[in-house]
């Protein structure tokens, strides 16, 4: 029973760490996209270069 509990706790910690890594990776991609949008804004000379879904 104790072994099962330890295995479950290790599994949950592993899942939490994987989710943290995915979150950080997504945040990095979003930050990179923001930088690219700013660069496109400067290159185009316009204030906003964002396409809307409208």
Cα end-to-end distance, the chain, whole Å = 56
What pLDDT, in 10s, does the model give residues 29-53?
999 999 999 999 999 886 655 665 5
Q: What angle do CA 18, 22, 27 make, to 5 degrees?
A: 150
Distance (Å, whole) CA 31 – CA 34: 5
**Any domain includes 22:** yes
Is residue 27 helix, strand or coil? helix
Is residue 1 helix, strand or coil? coil
**What total of structural domains would you count in the chain?**
1
* Enclosing domain of residue 30: 1-43
Residue 14 has pLDDT above 90, yes or no: yes
**Any domain includes 14:** yes
**Any domain includes 31:** yes
Q: What mean pLDDT is reported for the chain?
A: 89
């Amino acid at each position: 029973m104790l072994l099962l509990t330890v295995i479950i706790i290790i599994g949950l910690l592993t899942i939490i760490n994987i989710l943290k890594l995915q979150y950080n990776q997504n945040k990095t991609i979003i930050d990179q996209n923001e930088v690219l949008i700013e660069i496109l804004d400067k290159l185009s000379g316009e204030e906003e270069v964002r396409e809307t879904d409208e």
